[in-house]
Structure 1
Amino acid sequence: MFMPRARSGRMAAVTATAMGVGLGLLGAAPSQAADTIAVRCAAESLQTAIDNAPADSTLKVSGHCVGPFTIDKNLTVVGVDSATLDGNHAGRTLTVTGPAVVKLSKVRIIGGRSTTGSGGGGILNAGATLTLTHCVVSENVSSSTGGGIRNEGTLTLDDTTVRHNTAATLGGGIDNVGASGRSLTVTDSRIHDNTATTINGGGLFNDGTASLTRTVVEHNSAVTGGGIRNTGSQGRLTLTKVKVRFNLASEQGGGLGVGVGATTRISDSKIHGNTAQGGPGSGGGIRNDGAVTLTRTTVVDNHPENCAPDIAGCVNTPLAATGAAKSSPHTPARPDGERV
C-alpha cells in the first residue's frame, strides 16, 4: 500500500498508527508463522497437511502415506518410525517445484510411476532446492528418464539409498539434467540395482554438474554406462572416494561411460568387477570418449578390459570371458546427443 511521505517523524508515527488501526478494523489477517505439524497417515491426508502448512514449517510424518504428492513451498518433511510416501503406481510419488527449498529426512519414496515425458518415477525436482537425508528411493518406474529421481534443480543426497528403480531410457536411478544453475551432490550414499532398459546410465545419467563422495555405485545395468553415464558438453562429473563395482552394460562402459565433450575427474576411488558386453574395446571399467583424469584411483578386474581407449593411470589386463561376462559383437556407442 502506498503511504504518503510525512513532514516529520511525529506525523509519520501518527499516520502509521492510524493506518494500522484502520487495517485492524477491516480485519486484515496476519501472515501465518512457520510451525511443526504432526501428520499420521493414513488417518490424515499428507497432501492436505502440505497444502495447509505455512511456508518453512516442519511436518513430522508417520505411517504409510499414499500419494501422489506435490510440494511448492519451503518445507521440511521428517519421517517418524519408517514413514513411507507411496505413489501407489498411480503417478509420480513426489513432485517438488521451484523456487521452493525442501528437505526430506528419514522417509521412503516408493511406488512411483511416471508415464509423462518429464520423467522422475519417484521424485521430480522441477527447479527446487531439494535435500534428502537418511532416505530411501526405491521401486519406482519411469517410462522415460529418471526411474528413481529426475533432477532439474539443485539436489543433494546425504546418507541416502537409491535402489531397484527402472527408467525406460536414461538414468535408472537418477537422471541429472544439464543446465545452468542445476547440480547434483551425493555424499555417503548408495546407488544400486537400478536399470535403464533401452539407453544409458543404469545408476546415474549425468549431462550436467554432479559430484559423488564416499558413495557406492553397484549392480546397476544399462546399454552404455551400466553404473554411470556422463556425457555432453555440460557433463561435469567428480568422483571422490567412490566405489563403482559389479555394474553391467550391454554395449559399452560397464562401470562408467564418458561421452564426447564430457569431463570426469576421479580421485581416491576404485572401479572394479564391472562388465561391458560389446566386445574388445567396449571398456568394462571405463569407456572414455571424452576426458577422464584418474588420481590415486584403482581400475581393476573389469571385463573385457579396464579402460578403453587407454587412460593414464589405468592398466589394462584383459580377463577371460566367463558366464554373463561373455562378449557379444562390438556395437558402437550411441551418439552424444542422447537426451530426447
Structure 2
Amino acid sequence: MRRPRMPWRRLAPALTVAVTTAAAGLAAASPASAAFILVNCPAQNLQTAINNAAAGDTLLVRGTCVGNFTIGKSLSLVGSSGATLNGNNAGRTLTVNGPTTVRVSLTALTLTGGTADNGGGLFNNGATLTLSNSTVRNNTAAEAGGGIANFLGVTTVNSTTVHDNTSKYGGGIAIGPGEATGATVFRSTVRNNTATQLGGGILGFGHARVVGSTITANTAQGGPLSGGGIYNFSNMTLFGNSITANNPNDCSSTTPLPGCTTV
C-alpha cells in the first residue's frame, strides 16, 4: 500500500508567517529588571498585559482569559487557580512568534477552545518554547496540530496532557519540517486525540523526541497505516514510552522507528 504524502508545500503560507521583531524586544531582560505582573482575567486583558510587558517579565495569570493571544518576545506565563486561555472557538488560542532567540515559558495553564488552520490551541512559529505542567484540550485545526503545532521553532512539552483535540494531520501535536525545527515530548500524556488523516496523537515531520510519555487512545482515520498513535515522516527518537491502544495502529513511519509498540 502506498503511503500518503504530507502536503507541506501546500501549507507553506502558514509555515512562513512573517515574523517582525525589534532588537529591543528580543533582548532578554536582566534578572534585576524583570518584573512579576499579576493578570486577573477576565477583569484584566491578557493581550494588553503581554503587549505592555518587557522582555523577560513574568505574567502571573489567574482566571479564564478569553481571546486569541500572541506573544512575540521573551516572556513567562505562569497560571494559578486553574488559569485558562480560551480561544472561544473564534481563532487560535495562543500564537508564539520567533526567532529562536525569543524564549517563551508557559506553566500551569489550560489552553482550550482554539480553532485555526494549524495549531488550534498553540502555534509555535519560530520561537524557543517550553510548555510545562499544563493541559491542551478541545482545540481544532483544519490542517495540522489540533492541540499544538511546532513550525520553524523548538518546542518542549513537559509534564503536560494533550487530549481531545482534532485536526487533519497530528490530532494532538504536529511537528513541522526544517533543520531548525524540533520538539521534545517529555513525561507527558497524549490521549483521545483524532486526526482525520495521519497521526492521531503525534505527527512528526521534523526532529522529534518522545521520552517517558504515554500515547494512548488516539485515532487516525486515514486508513490501516495512518498511525493512530504516531505517524513519523522524519527524525524521531522514542525512549521509555507507553504507546498503546491507539487506532488503527500505534505507530506508522516512512523511516525506521524503533521503540514503538505496534498492534
Q: How far does residue 291 in structure 1 lie from its aligned partner after superposition?
A: 3.4
1:200 corresponds to 2:169: yes
- 1:248-285 CA-partner distances (Å, limit 9, x unpaired): 000111000011xx111111111111003xxxxxxx11
- 4+ runs deviating over 6 angstroms: none
Give 1:212's match in structure 2, choosing from 173, 176, 185: 185
- 1:150-202 CA-partner distances (Å, limit 9, x unpaired): 00111101101100111111100001003xxx200111110000000xx2010
Name the residue aligned to 2:221: 250
Cα 1:274–1:230 change in 2 (3 A) is same
Cα 1:156–1:288 change in 2 (3 A) is same
SS of match in other structure, 2:143: coil
Kept in 1: contact 2:209–2:238 (CA 8 A) = yes
Give the Cα–Cα distance (whole angstroms) in 2 for the partners of residues 124 and 114 of structure 1: 14
Q: How far does residue 113 in structure 1 lie from its aligned partner after superposition?
A: 5.0
Give 1:285's match in structure 2, choosing from 235, 244, 250: 250
Give the Cα–Cα distance (whole angstroms) in 2 for the partners of residues 290 and 172 of structure 1: 24
Cα 1:168–1:268 change in 2 (3 A) is same
SS of match in other structure, 1:69: helix
Give 2:115's match in structure 1, choosing from 121, 141, 147: 141
Give the Cα–Cα distance (whole angstroms) in 1 for the partners of residues 242 and 123 of structure 2: 26
- 1:265-318 CA-partner distances (Å, limit 9, x unpaired): 111111111003xxxxxxx11011123232xx6x1xxxxxx2xxxxxxxxx5xx
Q: Structure 2 stretches of 5 or more lacking a match?
A: 1-28
1:94 corresponds to 2:69: yes
Q: One-letter code of the match for 1:69? A: Q
- Identical pairs, percent: 28
Cα 1:65–1:136 change in 2 (3 A) is farther
Give 1:238's match in structure 2, choosing from 209, 215, 220: 209
SS of match in other structure, 1:172: coil
Correspondence 1:2-151 to 2 at 5 A: 56-65=34-43, 69=47, 71-72=50-51, 73-74=54-55, 75-80=57-62, 83-87=63-67, 93-97=68-72, 100-106=73-79, 107-113=83-89, 121-127=92-98, 128-142=102-116, 144-151=117-124
Name the residue aligned to 1:268: 240
Which of structures 1 and 2 has the bigger CA Rg? 1
Give the Cα–Cα distance (whole angstroms) in 2 for the partners of residues 96 and 112 of structure 1: 18
Q: One-letter code of the match for 2:122? A: I
What is the alpha-carbon root mean square deviation over aligned residues? Answer: 1.9
Give the Cα–Cα distance (whole angstroms) in 2 for the partners of residues 204 and 125 of structure 1: 15
Q: How far does residue 85 in structure 1 lie from its aligned partner after superposition?
A: 1.3
SS of match in other structure, 1:254: coil
Kept in 1: contact 2:39–2:45 (CA 8 A) = no
Q: How far does residue 111 in structure 1 lie from its aligned partner after superposition?
A: 2.5
Kept in 2: contact 1:227–1:254 (CA 8 A) = yes
Give the Cα–Cα distance (whole angstroms) in 2 for the partners of residues 268 and 130 of structure 1: 27
Correspondence 1:148-187 to 2 at 5 A: 148-152=121-125, 153-178=127-152, 182-187=153-158
Q: How far does residue 64 in structure 1 lie from its aligned partner after superposition?
A: 1.8
Give the Cα–Cα distance (whole angstroms) in 2 for the partners of residues 94 and 65 of structure 1: 16
Q: One-letter code of the match for 2:128? A: T
Kept in 2: contact 1:109–1:136 (CA 8 A) = yes
Give the Cα–Cα distance (whole angstroms) in 1 for the partners of residues 43 and 144 of structure 2: 28
Q: How far does residue 146 in structure 1 lie from its aligned partner after superposition?
A: 0.5
Greater RCO (CA < 8 Å, at least 6 residues apart) = 2
